[in-house]
Amino acid sequence: MTTNIPQTNEPQITDAEANLELKEIEGLSQGQIVRKRFFRHWGAVVSMIVLAGIVVLAFTSVGISAGPVRIAGWWPYDWTENPRPVNGGVPSWQHPFGQDSIGKDLFALVMRGTQQSLMIMAMVGIIGATIGIVIGALSGFFRGFVDAALMRFTDVIITIPFIVIGAVIGSTFGKLGAFILALVLGLFSWTGLARLVRGEFLTLREREFVDAARVAGASNGRIIFKHILPNAMGVIIVNTTLLMAGAILAETGLSFLGYGVQAPDTSLGLIIAQNQEAFQTRPWLFWWPGLFIITIALCINFIGDGLRDAFDPRQKRMPSARAMQRADAENAIAADAAALRGSDGADAASETADDQVPTLPQASGPDALPPRSEDAPGDADGRR
């Protein structure tokens, strides 16, 4: 055992596991590895399917109505018309989600609300991520004066809590429709991402591959887009999903307070606000929109978790006990074979693998993973 300690950088206890990991990712590109790890997270995969189902349901059922574009859906009712109440609005075959006090079909209302919430979520995600990436990349890459100016600007915006700035924006722009609201909300939601991206850039720009690119004569733009940005993509994608999950809760909260989407259009938060007094008499008016908000936010959060696991294996999932045993046995076989060939220290390797297995739950560090080490990307920098 003492013989092979000086030679290895890897802690021996990760032998079985490293073997397993190595075999799993052998000959795969970075994208393939990430995809493979993501699809292993069944919570994220189920969430993706559910979310896709909700998107399809929301946009086909009541159709699309954006500005001059009107596409009818397959659902017979609209969220603006109020048909005669059937049986006091209790959920029935005709109105599966029930009707509200003036007879509006709740399924149509909830579908329209879901559309608006999804649209606002996507807009905030896209706009916030774009601005955040640009500002973070510029200040992280160029540092100096650019960095100072942009970060002080970020500080100014970040000082205002999102719900406060959302309420002020909503009371000004809420009347102009959900699209404008989403646009303006997006303009104020990039601050957290900008700081993180800046932190990433500050660490990555010191790495050797950036020096190599610069020596090879790459322009700043090429270094930013082709060399650094792809490496920062994990942080960006994960935090964009978190931003979107926050956005949907912020939007529904603002609509609930009356600063978000305004009647006659509707949103999930607005439906709840309009009907919270009716909980005793018509509880379905309250349950359905709430369940849709939770489902969407939960799905986004789970997808974000799956992406985090895929990009950042520091808190990765343990291989199952059986997989560990199999890898362990393979290790032992390899060690036996090596021993037969007369190589020393091989049985030591199998020994360590054996007696370390029980402690493995605590021993799944980042050092067990050969590719691309993403250790603590500028945590301290990112916070400032």
If binding is defined by CB under 8 A, does position 362 make contact with other proteins? Answer: yes
What would the x/- binding string for other proteins be over residues 172 to 211, using CB under 8 A? Answer: x---------------------------------------
By CB under 8 A, tell whether 100 contacts other proteins: no
The one among 62, 119, 167, 303 contacting other proteins by CB under 8 A: 167
Which residue from 118, 123, 182, 273 is in contact with other proteins, where contact means CB under 8 A? 273
In the complex with other proteins, the residue whose CB is nearer, 195 or 227, is 195
Closest approach of Cβ 27 to other proteins, in Å?
28
Peptide bond between residue 264 and the one before it cis (omega within 30 degrees of 0) = yes
Nearer to other proteins, 272 or 335 (CB): 272
Q: Which residues contact 88 (CB under 8 A, 6 or more apart)?
A: none
Which tokens is 123 given?
Answer: 């807009």
**Residue 63 · residue 73 · CB < 8 Å:** yes
Give the number of residues in contact with other proteins, rule: CB under 8 A.
Answer: 54
Residue with tokens 């964009």: 240
Binder among 70, 84, 341, 383 for other proteins (CB under 8 A): 383
- CA distances 2 to 15, 69, 108, 198, Å, are 16, 75, 72, 44
Q: List helix spans (H) across the chain.
A: 15-25, 30-40, 42-61, 106-142, 144-159, 162-173, 178-187, 191-204, 208-215, 220-222, 229-257, 268-275, 284-311, 321-340, 346-356, 379-383
Among 253, 306, 377, 378, binds other proteins (CB under 8 A): 253
What is residue 103's DSSP assignment? -
**Interface segment toward other proteins; rule CB under 8 A; list 60-68, 93-101, 119-127, 159-167:** 159-167
Residue 85 touching other proteins (CB under 8 A): no
Give CA separation, 251 vs 10, 113, 114, 123, 317, in Å.
48, 11, 11, 12, 33
Please identify which residue in 272, 285, 357, 369 interacts with other proteins, judged by CB under 8 A.
Answer: 272
The DSSP H or E segment spanning 65 is strand 64-66
Interface with other proteins (CB under 8 A): 11, 152, 155-157, 159-161, 163-165, 167-169, 171-172, 245, 249, 252-253, 256-257, 259, 269, 272-273, 276, 279-280, 286, 289-290, 293-294, 297-298, 300-302, 305, 314-315, 317-318, 361-366, 379-380, 383-384
